[in-house]
Structures are given as structure tokens and as C-alpha cells.
A and B are shown apart, each in its own frame.
Chain A
């Protein structure tokens, strides 16, 4: 058994716990809803988190994962959390809690099974490194999301008064140009 197979064999329980650590960012009164309402349109935050966690888990475990699918899943998750009034550490940080879950559950089993193999530890650490990669990608995505929000705020102001700006532009063109000012009273 390799590390990917071991992780995958425990995927369901691990993903469930990981998803709950994402949900822990929300007030207790909302968690029940996020966890139990299994409808992607009625509970988009909960279901997007769950779908993303499934994809990201496979990516971290080292299973065959299409980079675009992984990127999209991470993006969907991060762009929700980026506008949900939580600090960046919380928005991105829950990704890293998968390490805790793995250390608790997978690492002992892995060491028991293959401790005599020289490469055992480095194979396990490769999984953790992939989680670090996801974290770095998430950092980029989080800052992209925040930049987009501020760009949208500026553009909204422009759009909401587009015709007035056009009118002001026309008035400026029509205005008689002011005579060129001279340097009065200043001897060269």
C-alpha cells in the first residue's frame, strides 16, 4: 500500500472532519444548517465547501487530479471565504488543519505499516508539502478576491453615473477655452 492508497481508504472520515473544521469558522447556530442541508442551491456555502474538500483531499493525497479542477475547487472555496467577514488567516488557514487530521489518523497507521521502508517518512511528508502548495495557491486567490472587490467598488461608482460623466465631458469640450495665462509681474 502506498501513502495515496492509505489516505484514500480513509477519505470519507477525514474529509468529514476537515469540512467540519471549515464550518468551525461560523457561529454555532449556523453549523447545523451548513452540515445537514444537502442541497447545492439551498446551502451553497456548505455544499461548495464540501465539494471543494473532496477535490482538495485527493490532490493532497497524491491521487490523479486535474490541475484545473483543483484550482477551480480551491478558488470556489476561497472566494466565498474572502467576502465572509473573517480574517485572512481564518479564510485560508482551515486548509492546514488537514495536516492535524492526517497526523492523528494516517501517520501512525503509515508508520506501523511501512516503518522499515527508508522512504516512508519522506513519502508522508510529500503529502504535507502538497497541502502547503494548496495553502500558497490559496494565498494568491485570497488576495485576488480582495483586489476584485475593491475594483468592483470603484467600477460601480463609475457605472452608476455613466451618463453624468459623459455629460460633464461634453460640457468641458464645449466650454470656451480659457485664455492662456501669462506670468504677470514676474520679470524673467
Chain B
């Protein structure tokens, strides 16, 4: 006679039994929500990936090329030859476990294959089999396994559940860089024609039109005109940014999210207001209209291609240096990879010097590029801005250290300095969740695709959890950050985990506080919401 299972049986919550199969033999579970949508064949072909083909992640057969094993073997061999770091990372891990519980995806999903050590082991086991003597001879005993199609499927899931944030590397005694391993595996998958739509479409658009959304010059200009209209409504001042003009000192390049997405647009308005106020000699470009570099998430070759346009445009327009907007991975690419990709900057570019304060940015001697957080911090330090932080008095803000500028590049103090000068109420999130140890937004490295929202919410949970703590205990109602992906990814995260907190860029708050010459008394903030502490109207007080 058949019986209904007990609740305990139904939930399989009986005291933990050891799983029947080890991790190597546990097959990945594919269902909607567990994977990103695949890249379109014509997009990949357009970018030069010959083996692009139609396939679906939830089909059993991914229709890989018949010689897929050989292709992958060659890819790995090629990567090992090119990147000595990869060879070291493959050989030197002693499985100490220091990284295991540091990944936000592991902490949020509790899936052991999200432990960085095991994520790297997904590749390492294959490497051992074909590239080490012990693995060749001893096989599984030496932690080696034979490549089969399930391994590819596993890579596709777990290397697209790594945001390349490098928190694990910080704790690794050898400094093994899982981000680099992730990029290389994604590149190997692309060699088989396997990529994701969200990234590859953006790369293709950027390659074709200069920015990730594929916005063409006339539309870009129209969109920025809107933002100028908004600035005029708020301040009474018409800002008029130059476009593609030769002979300016500075070219300003920012992620395209800043001029087409909420809430990035308010940050962009902040840039325009700041530049107008200080009289910066700059131009925008419709060709170098993207600071981000989605190529860097999947392939060094694509990253190189997309990076090159920024400097080509700076050279064409005769600009001395580049001012970079609030972007995260742009910063890592420029500072850590660009010299290898594209060699020295064009000869006519110069070491950046702030035209307002005379500060020489020695740190930018090689890249000729200054981050706007450094630039604005320098302006404030030299007392060049008239600021009224009281306009932000309804805001109790915290600062989210974005992985790339913070952990990778060490920009910790400048944004905090700026923030404290434009907001009277600043609260840090708890130790071990900020600065070098900051938790990722959970959607970096091109994973801000809506089809994997559950995964992103899990991956961002450690960040949100720390935010929730300061929201509950110290009434924090705002989180500022300086990364366009963060500005896109944190609002949904906050909406789910900590409703009542607003996410913004740094320069939105700067511009709220900035007193511009000739402006009307401010009654609304950059989002055109009423200021609880508006400026006094001089006309009204005279009448009184």
C-alpha cells in the first residue's frame, strides 16, 4: 500500500547523509533562472567567433562542434602559454580553504561549487588530466578528470556565477586571482561558440556604435539635451556640453549607463553641472561614448579592442588627458591591463594636471586618465567649490566600495572625502564588509541580466545584509557608489532586501550641494523631488 511521505521525507531533511556522488560526478541542474540566455549566433559571428551556433542551455545537446575536445585543449594550451599567471594558479593552490567562505555567491546561495576553490577546481581538474604527469598517471586520485560535455555545462553555470570581484583573491595566501581564471574559461567557452546574450550583445553594440546600448550619435546628443533641460529646470542655468570638438584639454568618458539609465542620469547631470561651474575645458565624444568594457569580462582580445577607442578618440581630438566618470571596471582595465593590451598612450597626451588647482596627478602618469572622484576631491581640498551640504540634510548616507575601484585600485579615501563634504550625515557599514573586503553587488562582470534575478539577489545578499544593519540601527536611507553597474544592480537589490534606501552616484550628491554662480534658489534635488531643506528665496526675504 502506498503511503504519503512524512513532511521530513518530503523535505529530505533527515540527518545529513553523505551525498552518493562526489562533486565531480554531481551534474549541474539546468532550469530557467539558473542560466543566462545564450548569445545570438549572428552577434558572435559578427565579432569573429567562427564556431557560433544556435543552441539552448536547457537542451540536452548543445550542438558543440565535432572536434570540441581538441578545440578546448588548444584553447587551454594557448591560455597557458600566454598567461604564466594561469599556470601558477593551476599549480599552486594547496586547498587551504581560506577563500571558501569569502565569495558572496557562496555566502548567498550556499552552493559549494561557488566556493572559489571549487570554482577554480572545475578547470583545474581538467588541466591536471591533460597537462600534469600526476594527473595523467593517477587520474581521479590526483584530482584529475576527463573532459566531457557535462563539464562544459558546469563551467557555463559556475563561471557565470562569478562576478570577477576578487574578494577571494584578497584572502588567498598565494593571491590566486579567480577573476582571471573566470575570464579565461569564458574565453575558452567562446571558442566553442558558447557565450551569453547580455554580455556579447553589449560588446557588439560597443564595437559598432561606441557604447553598450548601441545608441547612435544623434540619439545620444538628444538624450543629453534632455538632461540639460532638467538641469535648467532645477538650477535656472543652461549647461551646454561640447561634442566631438577638437582642441579641448580634456575628453570626458563615462559609462553609457550614466546617460541612459536610472539612476545614473542624475550622476551624469552632476558631472555637467560641475564642469560648467568650474569652467572645465572639455569635450564629450559620441565615438568614445562608453567607459565600460564588457569585453573585459569574457576575453582579453575583445577588451583590447574596446579599450583602444578611448585613446584613439583622445588622440584624434587632440586632448591632453582623459577624465573618467564614475565607473568601476573601466578603472581596472585602464590601470591593470591597458598597457599590455594597447601599449603606451598616444605620444601627444600629457600627464594630467588639474587646470583648476594645478595638482599634478602623478598616479596617472602612465594612463593619462584621472578618476572623477580624485578630481573632485582635489577641487574640494583646494576649496574651489561652493558647497551647501545642508541641501542633503534629509539624507543619511553610507558608501558602497565598488569592487574594481576599491579592491583592485585602492580608491577608498577620495570618495569618502567628497561624500563627507557634500553630506552632513555619513555612516560606515560594518568592518569586513567595506574597503578591501567590500561585498560585491552580485551583478558585476556582465551578470546584471534580468533572467537570473534570483541568483543576483542571493549574490548581493551579503552586501544588502550589511546595509540593512546600518539602515535598522542608524537610520541610513541612502547608499552612494561610484560604478555604473552598481547603480544599475543595487536598486533592485535594495528594493528586495532593504526597501527605503535610495542608491545614487557620488556626483548626484555633489551637484545637489553645489552652489552654482547665477543659479536660482534650489527647491528640488536632481530627481526633481522637493528638497526638505530648500534654499531661502532672497526675493521672499526682501519682501518680508
Taken together as a complex, chains A and B put the C-alpha atoms of A84 and B106 apart, in Å, by: 11
Among B10, B110, B263, the residue within 8 A (CB) of A84 is B110
Are B260's CB and A162's CB within 8 A? yes
Number of residue pairs spanning A and B whose beta carbons lie under 8 angstroms apart: 148
Contact call B462/A41, Cβ cutoff below 8 A: yes
Q: A126 within 8 Å of B by Cβ? A: no
Chain B residues 1 to 41 lying within 8 A of chain A, measured CB to CB, are: 7-8, 10-19, 23, 33-34
- Secondary structure of the A contact surface, majority rule: helix
List of A residues within 8 angstroms of B492 by Cβ: 152-153, 155-156
The answer for the CA separation of A85 and B455 in the assembled complex, in Å, is 8
Q: How far is the CA of A30 from the CA of B112 in the complex (A)?
A: 6
Note all chain A residues with C-beta closer than 8 A to B430: 41
A residues in contact with B19, CB < 8 Å: 27-28
Q: Which of the candidate stretches A56-64, A89-97, A105-113 sits at the interface with the other chain?
A: A89-97
Q: Which of B440-495 contact A (CB under 8 A)?
A: 450, 453-455, 457-458, 461-462, 465-466, 469, 488, 491-492, 495
Number of interface residues of A (CB under 8 A): 48
User: Given A25-B11, A41-B462, A42-B101, do A162 and B109 touch, yes or no (CB 8 Å)?
Assistant: no
Interface bracket on B? 35 or more
A34 at the interface (CB under 8 A from B): yes
User: Are B450 and A27 in contact, with the CB atoms below 8 A?
Assistant: no
Stretch at the interface among B148-156, B219-227, B275-283: B219-227
Q: Residue of B at shortest CB range from A151?
A: B495
Min CB distance, B229 to chain A, in Å?
11
B100 within 8 A of A: yes
Kindly list chain A residues whose C-beta atoms are within 8 Å of the C-beta of B455.
85
A10 at the interface (CB under 8 A from B): no
The interface residues of chain B lying within 8 Å CB-to-CB of A97 are 7-8, 11, 13
* CB neighbors of B among A123-164 (8 A): 145, 148-149, 152-153, 155-157, 159-164
Find residues 9-32 in chain A having any chain B CB closer than 8 Å to their own CB. Answer: 21, 24-31
B260 touches A37 (CB 8 A): no
Contact across chains for A162 and B262 when beta carbons are under 8 A apart: yes
Q: Check B496 against A148 for contact (C-beta < 8 Å).
A: yes
A164 to B15, CA, bound (A): 54
On whether A24 and B465 interact (CB within 8 A), knowing A159-B261, A163-B259, the answer reads no
Answer yes or no: A166 CB below 8 A from chain B CBs.
Answer: yes
A-facing residues in B309-339 (Cβ within 8 Å): none
A162-B260, A162-B262 are known contacts. Are A80 and B213 too (CB-CB below 8 A)? no
Q: Verify A93–B10 contact, CB threshold 8 A.
A: yes
Rounded to whole angstroms, the CA-CA distance of A157 and B110 in the bound complex is 28
Counting CB contacts under 8 A, is A40 at the interface? yes
Looking at the complex, which one of B13, B17, B111 makes contact with A21 (CB distance below 8 Å)?
Answer: B13
Distance of A106 from chain B, by nearest CB (Å): 17
Given contacts A29-B23, A42-B107, A43-B107, contact A161 B450 (CB under 8 A): no
Are B11 and A163 neighbours in the complex by a CB distance under 8 Å?
Answer: no
Q: With contacts A45-B461, A167-B222 known, is A160 near B261, CB below 8 A? A: yes
* Per-position binary interface string of chain A over residues 163-182, scored 1 when its CB falls under 8 Å from any chain B CB and 0 otherwise: 11011001000000000000
A100 sits at the interface (CB 8 A): yes
Residues of chain A within 8 A (CB-CB) of B469 are 40-41
Produce 1/0 per residue, A45-88, CB < 8 A to B: 10010000000000000000000000000000001100111000
Instruction: Check if B11 sits within 8 Å of A93, measured CB to CB.
Output: yes
Q: Are A42 and B432 in contact (CB under 8 A)?
A: yes
Contact A45 B450 (CB under 8 A): no
Give, as a whole number of angstroms, the nearest-CB distance from A1 to chain B: 28
Q: Which residues of A contact B101 (CB under 8 A)?
A: 33, 37, 42-43
Q: Are A33 and B100 in contact (CB under 8 A)?
A: yes
B120 shortest CB reach to chain A, Å: 15
Q: With contacts A33-B100, A152-B492, A160-B488 known, is A79 near B497, CB below 8 A? A: yes
Q: Which residue of A lies closest to B31 (CB)?
A: A85
What residues of B have a CB within 8 angstroms of the CB of A45 in the complex? Answer: 107-108, 110, 461
The reply to whether the CB of B433 lies closer than 8 angstroms to some CB of chain A is yes
Chain A residues near B488: list those with CB within 8 A: 156, 159-160
A163–B215 Cα gap in the complex (Å)? 11
Contact sample, A vs B, 12 pairs, CB 8 Å cutoff: A21-B13, A34-B110, A48-B465, A80-B461, A83-B454, A83-B496, A94-B13, A149-B453, A156-B492, A162-B261, A163-B227, A164-B219
A-B pairs, top 9 by smallest CB distance, nearest first, are A29-B112, A24-B13, A44-B465, A159-B262, A30-B110, A163-B260, A26-B110, A152-B492, A162-B262
